[in-house]
Amino acid sequence: MTLDSFETSSIRPFRIDVAATRLDMIRNRVRAFRWDAWIEPVDAGDWRYGPPAAYMRSLCDYWVDGYDWRQHEQVINARPHFITAIDGVDLHFVHEHGSGPNPTPLLVAHGWPYSFHSYDGLIDRLAHPERHGGKAEEAFTLIIPSYPGYDFSRHPQRPMGPHATAILFDKLMARLGYSRYIVHGGDWGAHITSLLGFTFPHRVIGIHATGLALREAGAPQLTGQVPSDATDEQRTFVASEYAIWQREGAYSQLHATKPAKLGYAMMDSPVGTAAWIIEAFHAWSDRRTHTFEELFTPDQLLTEVMLYLVTDAFPTSIWIYGAKREEETALPPGRRVRVPTGLAVFRDPVFPMPPRSIAQLSHDVVQYTEMAQGGHFPFYEAPDLLVADLRQFLRRVVPSKCPGDLLPS
């Protein structure tokens, strides 16, 4: 696997081929983990301290003796991959052209701790809906980049925050020839969708997100305080969100303040990397009606982990947290994101979506869909609901995709 230097204007095909020696090294490090020396409290089985040993040891046994990276590498390589250099960053992206004569460009911005590959199960359904009971005129052309420092995108010389990343992604869309496009995102991607809509309203048709991080100036999630004229609904949400973040936000503080301190440990331990990443999948998923094992297969989780390991990307993947601290974290006073906004409201237990009354203060919300199930990772947890909501949003913001009256909001 190599990332060569490219001409600034070039777009080159890219194929993943991880060296066998790298795979052997990872497997050997997993095999060598000192389970005999591992100690945990007797009540650790409910994940209160992080992934329990019983779960992690079983997963690692499978990782060593059953998991086949080459099988997943083949699946990943079945998509059209490219790399292009923009502003000194070799940016990796998947570019799947949709069916029909006029598919709508859809930029998909992923989050942490997942990847471009997290959306693989949605690509065919969104790009070629006619193969799945839909209509070809509702097709998207998907562009799914890896953030600088993630996966197969080369890391920048210094941390890049969400705003710089949003600018980079818009330049990618321009280079690909797309003057207008829709953008979807979750986690960091939700922040970047809002920034794209705010910064490039003349280019962004609409934004669709599974979270809402960028809000009005003085947003209460930053302080836990609410204006005196807040409604009971708004007060209840702010109090709940603030309490959740006080309980669950330590990982983000560490990413933002001491990324190198954590990075050294993650670079040295594949099992440590897996535990750090998989804990987030467990804590942030909707497990009200399904067990963790029912929501995510071992292969899905290990492939997400491996994408950080085979590229040595974990340390640079968390740079964005520190860079965000140096950016403005709220919209300027009196300003809003004025492009049409669709919000898919999944049951995310750690990053709940604000009520529409709060979201409307900072965004032009034209679609607000409350989902019956699914948490922070709907592409795995509730893919049918996510695909349906994206198609509905397309029909709403591109009237030619929906003959007759627009859908009600």
**What domains are there in the chain, each with its CATH number?**
11-401 (3.40.50.1820)
- What would the pLDDT profile of 345-400 be if each residue is shown by its tens digit? 999 999 999 999 999 999 999 999 999 999 999 999 999 999 999 999 999 999 87
Confidence grade of residue 403 (pLDDT, cut at 50, 70, 90): very low
Exposed, middle or buried by CB within 10 Å (0-12, 13-18, 19+), for 292? Answer: middle
Whether the pLDDT of residue 302 is over 70: the answer is yes
Confidence grade of residue 216 (pLDDT, cut at 50, 70, 90): confident
For residue 374, which phi and psi values (nearest 5 degrees)? 100, 140
Residue with the bigger pLDDT between 228 and 378: it is 378
Mean pLDDT for all residues in the chain: 91
Supply the pLDDT for residue 5.
Answer: 38
For residue 294, give every residue at least 6 positions away whose Cβ sits within 8 Å of its Cβ, in sequence order, or none.
none
Q: Which of 47, 186, 177, 204 is nearest to 108 (CA)?
A: 186
Please, what's the b/e burial string for 331-366 (b: 16 or more CB within 10 A of its CB; e: otherwise)?
A: beeeebbebbbbbbbbbbbbbbbbbbebbebbbbbb
Confidence grade of residue 324 (pLDDT, cut at 50, 70, 90): confident
Question: 293 by DSSP, 3-state: which?
Answer: helix
Mean pLDDT of 69-95: 97
Whether the pLDDT of residue 236 is over 50: the answer is yes
Question: 363 by DSSP, 3-state: which?
Answer: strand
Supply the pLDDT for residue 21.
Answer: 98
Supply the pLDDT for residue 7.
Answer: 42
Supply the pLDDT for residue 330.
Answer: 79
Which strands, in side-by-side order, build the sheet including 81-86? 11-13, 81-86, 89-96, 140-145, 104-109, 181-185, 204-209, 337-345, 363-370
Whether the pLDDT of residue 407 is over 50: the answer is no
Supply the pLDDT for residue 1.
Answer: 37
CA angle 361, 364, 367 (to 5 degrees): 115
